């Protein structure tokens, strides 16, 4: 479960990005975060994986209060929360296999276990046959699938995706959604910030709309709600 209690965020330049958010996301939910550009969606999401810290308020991931965890425990938190970005962020000199295995916490794992875990997630994203390829040899959609595999290889409870389809053509965006839905159906909570009206209006899920750093709508099976 993810919970925000009266969360505020002011950046050092005095921009008030988040202004008093209270939300609860239960285990296994799939949530879209929508809203105009600059509304605070990325800030909202970054606080969930402790990339940014709130100026005020508490964020709980299950029993862990993110405001209270020590810097040295952040890697442990990141194993419980996978993150996917619009621009993939793959390491260009590593193969698909290496990009995924690199993210795996390798402590006390034997090579056979590592290989099984990497191949299992490459199977989920339908990329087993590209394990030896380099990112530059892949399409944008394939690169995003590698990024998703990397994000889930530690079996996180939560997958956070900030505009995961933002750089992809429409057909490829739908493929990515199939994979995110599959991962969600396997039990992972998915939180996805998006500007993709077609996806939100077709694959109906909970919608949290943010404007000027506040939740202005929180709706089960909601619409995108903005004209593009």
In the complex, minimum distance from the CB of residue 161 to ligand ATP, in angstroms, rounded to a whole number: 13
d(CA 46, CA 160) in angstroms, rounded, equals 9
Nearer to ligand ATP, 38 or 170 (CB): 38
In the complex, minimum distance from the CB of residue 53 to ligand ATP, in angstroms, rounded to a whole number: 12
Nearer to ligand ATP, 43 or 188 (CB): 43
In the complex, minimum distance from the CB of residue 16 to ligand ATP, in angstroms, rounded to a whole number: 8
Nearer to ligand ATP, 38 or 187 (CB): 38
Nearer to ligand ATP, 43 or 143 (CB): 43
d(CA 122, CA 127) in angstroms, rounded, equals 5
Sequential DSSP letters for 13-32: TS-EEEEEEEEEE-TT-EEE
In the complex, minimum distance from the CB of residue 120 to ligand ATP, in angstroms, rounded to a whole number: 32
Nearer to ligand ATP, 85 or 174 (CB): 85
Sheet of 158-162: strand order equals 81-85, 158-162, 189-193, 30-34, 206-211, 214-219
In the complex, minimum distance from the CB of residue 13 to ligand ATP, in angstroms, rounded to a whole number: 5
Residue 9's DSSP bridge partners are 18
Q: Identify whether the C-beta of residue 141 lies closer than 8 Å to the C-beta of residue 64.
A: no
- Pairing type for strands 2-10 and 206-211 reads unpaired
Nearer to ligand ATP, 41 or 78 (CB): 41
Q: Identify whether the C-beta of residue 54 lies closer than 8 Å to the C-beta of residue 67.
A: yes
Residue 117: CA count within 13 A, CB half-sphere: 21
Residues that bind ligand ATP (CB under 6 A): 11, 13, 15, 17, 35, 37-43
In the complex, minimum distance from the CB of residue 11 to ligand ATP, in angstroms, rounded to a whole number: 3
From first CA to last CA, the distance across the chain in angstroms is 32
Longest dimension (CA), the chain: 52
């Amino acid at each position: 479960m993810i919970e925000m209690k009266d969360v505020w965020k002011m950046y050092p330049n005095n921009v008030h990005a988040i202004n008093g958010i209270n939300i609860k996301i239960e285990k296994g939910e799939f949530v879209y975060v929508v809203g105009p550009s600059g509304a605070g969606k990325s800030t909202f999401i970054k606080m969930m994986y402790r990339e940014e810290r709130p100026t005020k308020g508490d964020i709980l991931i299950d029993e862990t209060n993110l405001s209270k965890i020590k810097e040295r425990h952040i890697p442990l938190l990141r194993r419980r929360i996978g993150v996917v970005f619009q621009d993939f962020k793959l390491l260009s000199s590593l193969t698909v296999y290496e990009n995924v295995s690199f993210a795996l916490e390798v402590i006390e794992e034997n090579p056979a276990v590592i290989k099984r875990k990497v191949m299992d997630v490459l199977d989920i994203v339908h990329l087993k046959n590209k394990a030896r390829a380099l990112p530059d040899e892949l399409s944008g959609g394939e690169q995003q699938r590698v990024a998703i595999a990397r994000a889930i290889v530690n079996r996180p409870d939560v997958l956070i995706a900030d505009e995961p389809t933002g750089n992809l053509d429409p057909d490829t965006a739908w493929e990515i959604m199939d994979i995110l839905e599959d991962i969600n159906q396997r039990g992972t909570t998915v939180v996805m910030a998006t500007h993709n009206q077609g996806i939100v209006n077709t694959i109906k899920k909970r919608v949290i709309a943010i404007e000027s750093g506040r939740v202005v709508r929180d709706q089960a099976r909601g619409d995108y709600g903005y004209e593009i």
